[in-house]
Amino acid sequence: MLAIRHYTHAHPRAMPPTADSAPDSAPSPQQLAALRERLDGWAAELGFQALGVADLAVDAYVKRLDRWLAQGYQAGMDWMASRRDLRANPERLVGGCARVISLRMDYRPPDTEPLRILKSADKAYVSRYATGRDYHRLVRPRLAKLAARMQGWAARHWGADSCQRAFVDSAPVLEKPLAEKAGLGWIGKNTLLLNRAAGSWFFLGEIYTSIPLPVAAASATDHCGSCRACLNVCPTDAFPAPYVLDSARCISYLTIEHRGAIPEPLRGKMGNRVFGCDDCQLVCPWNRYARPSAEADFRPRHGLHNADLVALFGWSAEQFRQRTAGSAIRRVGFYGWKRNLAVGLGNGPATAAAIHALRSDATDSALVREHVEWALDRLTQTSLAQPCLAGPRPPCA
C-alpha cells in the first residue's frame, strides 16, 4: 500500500577479483559468515535499526494470504490478488534469489503529540509515517547502497557475480512474514510487525539476494498474550478476528487507497483521521518502548502533525501540489485529500470557520461536493442550538 508500485535494482556489476579470492568460486561458510557479520555494521551506518536474513519458505503465510484474499479483505486493492503468485514465490520475483535480507527503519518523529491531536476535533490527524518525507524516497536509496556494498564484497572475496534487488513496500513482497522469519519481530494481532524493544513504528525494506547467507536462528515468538487493546480500540471494527484485517473497514485503506465515496456508515467513525490511522499502534503497549527517529527527513513538514482541518481544507490544488511534493500524501490526490478533510470537518465542532470553509468550497469534483454536503448536513444539525452558525447567514447581532 501507501505508494507507487515499482522496484529498485542494484545493478549487478562484475568486479575484478582480488588476489585473496578464488575467482568465480562458491563462497565458503566462513566467507558467508564474515559477510553476514559485516551487514549489521553497514545497515547501522545507513540508518537502519535492525537486519535479519530469511530463507524463501513462506508457505504457511501464503495459506493465510489466500484465506484473506478469498474473504475479499483486500477490498479495492486488486493488485494484492493479481500479483499473489509473485508474493507467494520470491524466487519468481527475482530469479536466482536464495535469501531475503529484511531491514527495519524507525520513523516516528519526536514530540508530535499524536494523542493530543487525535483528541482535538478541530485538528487534522495525519498518520505519523506520513508527516515528513515519503519513506520510499529515503529507504530505497539506502537499500540500494547496502546492496552495492554486498555486491562489491562478494566480487572481492570470492569473485563471483551476484544479484541483489531492493524493495520497499510497493513490490509484491510478503514483507511482514519475511521480517518475522528473519527474526525482526512477530506479527501482532493488529497485523503489524512488532518488536519487544521497538514497538511497531517502523518501515520494512528488503534485499533479495542470490548470496546464500546464513539465516536467522529462529523467528521471534508472539508476545501479544491475552491483550486485545488494538482490536477493541479500532474505531471502525476493522479486525474480524485477531491477526486479520478487513481493509474495507480500515481507516488507513479508506483515506489512502480507496477511490470514490467513503461509505456513509463509516464516515462518522473516522473522526479527524484524514490520512491513514495509527490507533492500533498508539494503544499497543509495546510501543512504549519505541524510540523516536533521528532522521531529519521524517520530521514533519508544513506543520502537518498539528494542522487545523479548516486550514488544510483551504489549500488550493496548487498549494496541495507544492506542499505534498516528496510526501506520501500525494498518493491520495487533491480530490481524495479534500474528500478526507470534508469528512474530518463533518466530524468536528460546528464552528463558524468550519461551516464557512465548507460552504465556500468551489472544488470542481462531484466526489468532493457530496462529502462537503454530508459534512454541512452534520454541522448544521449539530449547530441548531447555535443559530448564528446554521442557515444561510441569519443576521445574528
Shortest distance, CB of residue 201 to ligand SF4, whole angstroms?
A: 12
| Residues in CB range of 331: below 8 A, 6 or more apart | 2, 3, 4, 256
Q: Which of 284, 343, 354, 358 binds ligand SF4 (CB under 6 A)?
A: 284
Site string for ligand B12, 37-66 (x = CB under 6 A): ------------------------x--xx-
Q: Which of 18-26, 118-126, 175-183, 336-344 is the region at the interface with ligand B12 (rule: CB under 6 A)?
A: 175-183
Q: Does 283 bind ligand SF4 (CB under 6 A)?
A: yes
Can residue 359 be called a binding residue for ligand SF4 (CB under 6 A)? no
Q: How far apart, in Å, are the Cα atoms of 215 and each of 96, 163, 191, 204, 212?
A: 17, 18, 24, 18, 9
**169 flagged as catalytic:** yes
Q: Pick the binder of ligand B12 from 125, 208, 253, 298 (CB under 6 A).
A: 253
374 binds, among ligand B12, ligand SF4, none (CB under 5 to 8 A by kind): none
**Toward ligand B12, which CB reaches closer, 250 or 375?**
250
Choose, by CB under 6 A, the member of 229, 244, 353, 367 that binds ligand SF4. Answer: 229
Shortest Å distance, C-beta 224 to ligand SF4:
3
Contact residue for ligand SF4 among 1, 3, 216, 227 (CB under 6 A):
227
Nearer to ligand B12, 32 or 280 (CB): 280
Which string of x and - marks every residue 177-216 that binds ligand SF4 (by CB under 6 A)? Answer: -----------xxx---x----------------------
* The binder of ligand B12 chosen from 174, 213, 266, 274 (CB under 6 A): 174
Active-site residue set: 169
**Using CB under 6 A as the criterion, which residues of the chain lie in contact with ligand B12 when the complex forms?**
1-2, 61, 64-65, 68, 77, 80, 127, 129, 168-169, 173-177, 187, 190-193, 200, 202-204, 243-245, 247, 250, 252-253, 257, 276-278, 280
